[in-house]
Structure formats: C-alpha cells, structure tokens
Chain A
C-alpha cells in the first residue's frame, strides 16, 4: 500500500477583504481515504477546497500532486488533474435538464453531442449507486436532495480521482446520507481520494478515515477517525467546552390565547414538481413554536411563502392578529411584526453586493429613513444590528463589506440578526440553523425559544427532526402539500413522524 500522499497542500494562504480565510494551511490527502474537514463556519474549510479546485487563486502556498508541484489556476486546470468538487451552493443551471447539466461538465466530448449515449451512461452510474434521477427533468424542478445527486453523478461521470464534497449531507434525508456514505466506501475501495467538509460530528465519526479540524483559518489538528471522539473534536474546533442546548419547555401556556395566525382551507398553485398547498388549516398562538416536519418539497416552502404573502392563496382565508389579511402586501405583513428567515438566505433575503449594514436596513427602510426619506439613519441601523448580534451571541463582522464576501454561515447569522432585531411577533423560520456550527446553532435556537417565551409565535420549518422535537410546542407533518398529522412532541415518536413524512400512513404506528 502506497503511503505517500496523493495530494499535498503546503502553507496555503488566502485573504479576502477584511478576512484572512486561510493562514498557512498544510494538508495531506491520501488515495483510498475519506478525509473530513471539520470546523466552525468561516473556519476556512470551503475556501481551502475552492483553492484546490481552482475556483480561488491562493495568495501564496504550494500544491503538489504525487509529489510534483502543480499550478491550479482554474477549475479547468483542476479537472485536468482529475480533481472534482461538489459545491455547497450547487453550480447548476436550473433552466437546463439533468443530462445537459452533466454533459456540460464532461471533458473530451466530441463536437457533436451524442445525447443518447450520455443519458445511457447517466442511467448506468445512477443505477449502480442507487441514485434515482430522471436525466430529462429540468434541474429547476428537482429538490435540493436530487440536485445534490446530480452533482455527485457529474463527478463520477467525469472520472475525477480526487473528490471534494462541500457539506454533501446538508439537505439529504437520513437514508440518503447512508447511501452517500456507501458510495464513499465504494469509491474509497477503488482508490479514490475523498475530501469532505462538514460540521456534523456524527457523520465525521461515521465515515472519515482522517479528520482535519480547522479553526479561524488555521489547522487546529489532524487525527485518525478511529481515534477521534466527539469531545476531542469539539475541543479542537472551539478550543473550549460549549454548553448543551437549551432543553425544551414542557408546558404549553399558549392554550386559550387568541390565535396570532390562522390559515383556513388554504390552497396554492403548484409549480413544476413542487406541491402546492391543499386545504391547509393552521393556527399559531402567541407563545408557541409550531414545527413543520416533512421531506423537502412537500409544501413547506409554499406554507412559509403563503404566511408571508409571497405566494397568493388560490382558495382559503388567512388571518393575522385577528384580522383577515389574505390580500395584504408583503410590506404590510412585515410591518405588522412578521420576521422571515428564508430557505435560501443568499437568494431570498440578502443582496450580495450591498454592504452588511445596507442589507440590515433593507427590510426596514421606512423605519430608518430620516427627513422624510431623504437620508438614512445609519447610526441606528448599526446599533440595532450590533445589539441583535450580541443578543444572539454571534461574532460581529465588519459592517461595511459587501454581504456576499461573508461565508455561508455568517450570512445566515446576519439574516437571523436582522430578522430578530425588532422583536417580531410572528417568526417564519426556514431551517434557521442550516449551515451554522454547533455553537451558533445553539444560540439561534436559544433566541427562538426566548422569543417564544416573550410571547412571539413561531413557524419553524426544519429537516432536522431532533431540532423540531427539541424546540416545538406543536408539530405538524406535511406530505404532498397537505398537513397529514398534527401532534405534540410528547405524544408522537420520531418514527411515526418519519412514516407520516414519507406518506406511509402509520402502517407501523406505535410499533415502538
């Protein structure tokens, strides 16, 4: 067995305006191993891997492949060296089909494409690894999970030898994660090198041969997977012990209060493969968290959009604060005290080329305007943002940099801080902890439960069943646009929710 590294990174350094993302990072990757990169958000894992893939150019440092120094100046170069990457934000073209997206990525195709043979190859590989993806479907119709499979298929078909995965399990269902790890194992056996970025401890322990922990742009340590424990990894990640998440509150004092939000028989248009809402009845009272469970694409997004008013009801009535608001504009809904943390923060809640503080002011331009809108009170914007960040116990990035320069997790933090700044009465939260590391996720959860205790109503949409059970006072389960189950976390088991989510209506009910 060859034990000299396939790939060596030495002293990689990369800075962005206001941030030193990688500070003299060394890393070895061997053939036939799964190498996990673990670290908080903004620790520099993604940046390092994007340098390796040629997406960023390093300020300094050396990359060696099989001992030979190589220059990787673009993804094209990286692919010449058979390095492939699955990005955190998928680089796919929604308007094109799965087959076209994959074809685009394949090297050395003839000028005239033989689409039939490409589709055949896609079907072969996807069958071998149990990925069921229709090659003819346009990508905008796919769920996040399916889009990820397309990304993995791309790499497999393009014959990459070093595979980089940037948080591959972020949006996969549990059995899909197991499937992915099975793929990892198969690839490993064939001598592929796999690098895998994550902040989920369990996954690292489940599948990594070696683990490199990064902290603030530096390597905090590299240990063998077989020798790692959860506490040793946490210590490397944070350099200090962190407290446990807040426990869930038992009682539900919301009973008997007047509903904050009420949906009566709401339907929406269904678009593409996503399910529109069908006859949805939902009540949220002040001081309760209503959790929405479901496999992504079963109407959760539409539910959140309908509550905020982004999506119109084709049938049904909505009440907010006891008033009928079916035809209110989004601005009216927001001004009445509704906060919205969307599914895709960068796409739906943020303006990447505006600065952090401009992003902050964006949803409240009326409130921050002075002299009848002729100027803006930036002082107030900054102090509100600062106060909100401090309440959330988040680190504070410089306010003048364009938001797009921040890491995915930091953008999520800024959106949370913005939405929570004005003590909203109703909070619509999509995956509020997605992309956050353990510590930030805990403070985000804490702020949600604190808001609840102070009387806010919260609609919490999450794929993390543990989080839903931990935080929610009531749970609803969505399947194909309908609410198929409603219960409290005490009265229903995770397994039952799982069956409801997948549409197998309680065949195994109460079996455990």
Chain B
C-alpha cells in the first residue's frame, strides 16, 4: 500500500514540478536582468489557452507547445513595453498583466471548456520503462518533462557561460555599470523578457496539454506566484530551481494524493499546502545575509542625461 502511494507521489511531483520549473526559469531570467514579473501567472494562462486551442484545431500538440511559447513571449513584450520603454512600475504592471492574462485566456478558452484532447502523451523509453518501479518513476513521462532539466541546464549555460548572459546579469546588478561597459540595457532586457515569456508559455502549455488535457479558467491556480517564491528559494540560480520545483511539485502531488485517498483533513487546508510552503520558504530564505538577489532588482535603467 505504501509503495504505490510513494511512487504516485514521486511521479506526481515530477509532473507538477515540471510547469513550476519552466515558470521558475522564466521568472529567474527576468529577475536576473532586474525585472520582477508578477504577471507570470497571466503569461502561463495565455500559454495554456493558446496551446490548447491550437492543439484542438490542428490536432498536433507539438504545434500547440510552439504556439504557446510564442504567445507567452509576445505577451511578455506587452509587459516589456510598459516597464522598459514606458518605465512603468514593475509591480503594478505585473499585476495588471496577470489579470489581463486571466481575462483574455478565459475569453479565448470560453468555447473550449469541457473539450478534451489527447494532448502530449507519455513517451515510454524502450526497455527502461519496463523496469518495475524505476520504470514508472523515471521513464514514463511526456516530452516536456524530459526536456525540463536540459532546458534548465541550457538556461544556466546561457546565463553563466555566454557573453549575452554575462551582460544580462550585469544589467540586473547594476545597469549603469553595464551601460558604461557599452551594453544596451533596454535591448537586453527585452530579449530576456522574450525568452522568459517563451518559458512561461511552455509552463502553461504543460498544464493544459500534458497534465489536465483540458482547459479550465484560471487553471494555473497561483502556480505563477509560487514560481516567484521559488526563484528566491533557488537563489536566482537555474540549477537550484530544479530542486525547488521538485519540492513544490511534491507538495502539490502530496495534496492531490491525499485528497484522492480521502484523508480526513479539510480539503481547503490541503489546497493551501503549496502556498503555505511558499510562505515558509520566503520567511526562511529572505532574511538570510547576502542572499543572491540581483542588486538592481525592480528598477529599470533610466538612461543618462
């Protein structure tokens, strides 16, 4: 009894952790360049609904993922225009973007409520997936799960091993210094936000195309905000984000499993589990001395006289 329970919690953690990882990477890329995007939830919803609609219409979930990624990137450009070009307040713009995403996705998805798709199917790795227990735990997922960790490594590599990533981080730390070094802070921030949008869109697509395989209004249920907390937990580092996402995915999975098994705890309390965990994380990590927050987080380069 305990064995299968643990296995389903584990595979649930990986399933639920995957969109969280994409979303956390999205937020981390943005924040490394100094931009807090509280609109991530909205970006994910846009990704989810565009991916779902595209899949319903074309029958091809891969096209759905592609469309979701593009839609996420473009939606983030709206945010970019506000906070980079118009220098609007990041927190207010982010929240507005979130609500805008909620409304827009509900409108696009209104006619699709209840429709089901085949979505992204599990790819069973030949031979390996046949191994008892291990096979179910590690080798029986959809493509976005398999690609999640390589994508995290790719983001890390971009950030820490390329000239582009160095400039990006420099802008998040001190845009004036980066400008003085001959970088163009605004252009780099747009680029970072576009990539962040792509990742956010994929996060949403995984929810609608692989996990739920259906569309429901506000189906992200706050995962975008959990990702904002996860960025802090992972100290703005893509590799640490993998561990953080698994932990939170585990919390979500535990909650779902307990509800499914009718554990006599109020379902409202269980629903809160991942968010209570977020609060705990923020309480523990935020106070630490010298945590790795980018030095200029939340501020946009104002240019010089």
Q: Do A and B bind each other?
A: yes
Residues of A within 8 A of B283 (CB): none
Inter-chain contact B305/A105, CB cutoff 8 Å: no
Residue A380 at the chain B interface, CB threshold 8 Å: no
Q: Known: A16-B305, A56-B304. Is A111-B164 also a contact (CB below 8 A)?
A: yes
Residue B173 at the chain A interface, CB threshold 8 Å: yes
Question: Who on chain B is nearest to A76 by CB?
Answer: B182
Inter-chain contact B162/A74, CB cutoff 8 Å: no
Residue A374 at the chain B interface, CB threshold 8 Å: no
Q: How far is the CB of B75 from chain A (nearest CB, A)?
A: 27
Residue A87 at the chain B interface, CB threshold 8 Å: yes
Q: How far is the CB of B157 from chain A (nearest CB, A)?
A: 9
Inter-chain contact A91/B182, CB cutoff 8 Å: no
Residue A125 at the chain B interface, CB threshold 8 Å: no
Residues of B within 8 A of A16 (CB): 305
Q: How many Å lie between the Cα of A75 and that of B181 in the bound state?
A: 7
> CB-CB contacts of B147-177 with A at 8 A, as 1s and 0s?
0000000000000011110110110011011
Q: How many Å lie between the Cα of A113 and that of B162 in the bound state?
A: 5
Within 26-55 of A, Cβ neighbours of B (below 8 Å) are at 53, 55
Q: Known: A16-B305, A103-B166, A104-B178. Is A93-B184 also a contact (CB below 8 A)?
A: no
Residues of B within 8 A of A94 (CB): 173, 295
Residues of A within 8 A of B164 (CB): 111
Inter-chain contact B183/A104, CB cutoff 8 Å: yes
Residue B133 at the chain A interface, CB threshold 8 Å: no
Residue A100 at the chain B interface, CB threshold 8 Å: yes
Residues of A within 8 A of B180 (CB): 53, 55, 75, 85, 87, 91
Q: How many Å lie between the Cα of A57 and that of B173 in the bound state?
A: 24
Residues of A within 8 A of B292 (CB): 95
Question: Who on chain B is nearest to A109 by CB?
Answer: B163
Residue A92 at the chain B interface, CB threshold 8 Å: yes
Residue A96 at the chain B interface, CB threshold 8 Å: yes
Residue B179 at the chain A interface, CB threshold 8 Å: yes
> CB-CB contacts of A83-124 with B at 8 A, as 1s and 0s?
001010001111110001001110101111101000000000
Inter-chain contact A79/B182, CB cutoff 8 Å: yes
Q: How far is the CB of B28 from chain A (nearest CB, A)?
A: 15
Among A53, A55, A75, A96, contact of B170 (Cβ-Cβ < 8 Å)? A96
Inter-chain contact B166/A104, CB cutoff 8 Å: yes
Of listed A57, A94, A112, residue having the most chain B CB within 10 A: A112
Among B166, B304, B305, contact of A100 (Cβ-Cβ < 8 Å)? B166
Inter-chain contact B182/A105, CB cutoff 8 Å: yes
Inter-chain contact B173/A95, CB cutoff 8 Å: yes
The secondary-structure label for the interface of chain A is: loop
Residues of A within 8 A of B181 (CB): 75, 91, 104-105
> CB-CB contacts of B273-305 with A at 8 A, as 1s and 0s?
000000000000000000010110000000011
Q: How far is the CB of A346 from chain B (nearest CB, A)?
A: 13
Q: How many Å lie between the Cα of A76 and that of B186 in the bound state?
A: 14
Residues of B within 8 A of A109 (CB): 163
Among A55, A96, A105, contact of B173 (Cβ-Cβ < 8 Å)? A96
Of listed A16, A55, A96, A104, residue having the most chain B CB within 10 A: A104
Q: How many Å lie between the Cα of A42 and that of B39 in the bound state?
A: 44
Q: How many Å lie between the Cα of A115 and that of B162 in the bound state?
A: 10
Of listed A79, A85, A93, A115, residue having the most chain B CB within 10 A: A93
Residues of A within 8 A of B182 (CB): 74-76, 79, 105, 107
> CB-CB contacts of A209-243 with B at 8 A, as 1s and 0s?
00000000000000000000000000000000000
Question: Who on chain B is nearest to A79 by CB?
Answer: B182
Residues of B within 8 A of A95 (CB): 173, 292, 294-295
Q: How many Å lie between the Cα of A92 and that of B180 in the bound state?
A: 9
Of listed B161, B162, B177, B304, residue having the most chain A CB within 10 A: B177
Q: How many Å lie between the Cα of A75 and that of B166 in the bound state?
A: 18
Residues of B within 8 A of A93 (CB): 170, 173-174, 177-178, 295
Residues of B within 8 A of A57 (CB): 304-305
Question: Who on chain B is nearest to A16 by CB?
Answer: B305
Q: How far is the CB of B190 from chain A (nearest CB, A)?
A: 17
Q: How many Å lie between the Cα of A6 and that of B248 in the bound state?
A: 62
Residues of B within 8 A of A91 (CB): 174, 176-177, 180-181
Question: Who on chain A is nearest to B164 by CB?
Answer: A111
Residues of B within 8 A of A105 (CB): 181-182
Question: Who on chain B is nearest to A15 by CB?
Answer: B305
Question: Who on chain A is nearest to B157 by CB?
Answer: A112
Within 243-283 of B, Cβ neighbours of A (below 8 Å) are at none
9 contacts between A and B (CB under 8 A): A53-B180, A56-B305, A57-B305, A79-B182, A91-B174, A104-B178, A104-B183, A111-B162, A111-B164
6 residue pairs, one from A and one from B, having the closest CB atoms: A91-B177, A76-B182, A91-B180, A93-B173, A105-B181, A79-B182
Chain A positions within 8 Å of B, measured between CB atoms, are 16, 53, 55-57, 74-76, 79, 85, 87, 91-96, 100, 103-105, 107, 109-113, 115
Chain B positions within 8 Å of A, measured between CB atoms, are 161-164, 166-167, 169-170, 173-174, 176-184, 292, 294-295, 304-305
